[in-house]
Amino acid sequence: MTSKIKPGKGAPYARIMGVGGYRPTRVVPNEEILKHIDSSDEWIRSRSGIATRHWAGPEETVAAMSLEAAGKAIADAGITPEQIGAVLVSTVSHFKQTPAIATEIAHKVGAGKPAAFDISAGCAGFGYGLAIAKGMVTEGSAEYVLVIGVERLSDLTDLEDRATAFLFGDGAGAVVVGPSKEPAMGPTVWGSEGDKAETIKQTVAWDVYREETDVRFPAITQEGQAVFRWAVFEMAKIAQQALDEAGVSPEDLDVFIPHQANMRIIDSMVKTLKLPESVTVARDVETTGNTSAASIPLAMERLLATGAAKSGDTALLIGFGAGLVYAATVVTLP
């Protein structure tokens, strides 16, 4: 039987057209963290590579930070807000279950009436958003898609947890995905390992916090060593698979932008992947901390802004985190 459904009128390919980022004005050095935990600046730097992070003030809400990053990405892409057909926001720190923060952002950025929804995929959320945006552009349901990764993880940080108090930062990163006449976004290699869900989690559910008044406010906790081993060994395999799927060898790569979780993880992945010294590696974690879904676009924006990477470079992106979930792809930088 012949289908009566007409094919979509999308572009043959999709690409990242513009990028923008926002870091809160308040810079928090390790010394401030050490007021709450028994540790040292040397220990924090050796374990994570983090020296400072940005924490949002009262006015730097998830929506406000997103709008700042989105405005820069739209301008960088050379389009108008009215041309945006979808807004995707990856976050775990928007505390309203409904409505999605994406709808508020879509309205305030001036996008008209686009599709708008949130993505809850932790540190892999930005990669999930890219994959969905690419599908929208190529199928024709949206010509331009705004993808945002944003977090206020300072709201979910237990300052007395010696294992995590120093890890997390706040910020927002955004990109515009639009049509391309040539391949500029490789296949997404993504997945989950739910049997390891307990290794990164929220300490208590919201309903438990509501019902038991003596329970501390929910925070993010993790089993550091288990996460480290998984990220270094398993995620290097996923990164290599993304290179293979895109038909790109390590020697052809210009830039590596992994999720900014930990400097030791980043350096170990570079070694395991045997990346040439010519490859520029994002190490934004040193001054930004772990910003979960925002970390990859923030690192991308900084590399391009400083000239460490340039438009047209071939970059490997990989995000991984709570779930456990992951997403990797190879892209051409805007």
Contact status, residue 178 vs residue 137, Cβ threshold 8 Å? yes
Exposure string over 241-266, b if 16+ CB within 10 A, otherwise e: ebbeebebebeebbbbbbbbbbbbbb
Distance from C-alpha of 56 to C-alpha of 155, rounded to nearest angstrom: 9
Residue 287: in which H helix or E strand, if any?
A: helix 285-288
Annotate 158-192 with DSSP letters as a single string.
-TT-TTTTTTB-EEEEEEEEEEESS--B---EEEE
Cα-Cα-Cα-Cα dihedral sign, residues 57, 29, 230, 225? negative
DSSP, residue by residue, 40-99 = -HHHHHHHH--SEEEE--TT--HHHHHHHHHHHHHHHHT--GGGEEEEEEE-S----SSS
State the DSSP code for 155: G
In angstroms, the CA 282 to CA 267 distance is 10
Cα 136 to Cα 60, 122, 126, 179, 200: the distances in Å are 30, 22, 15, 10, 31
Helices (H) and strands (E) in the chain, counts: 11, 14
Can you read off the two tokens belonging to residue 235?
């995620």
Separation between Cα atoms, residue 330 and residue 255, nearest integer Å: 10
Q: For residue 74, count other CB atoms closer than 10 A to its CB.
A: 25
71 and 175 Cβ atoms separated by less than 8 Å = no
**Active-site residue numbers?**
123, 259, 290
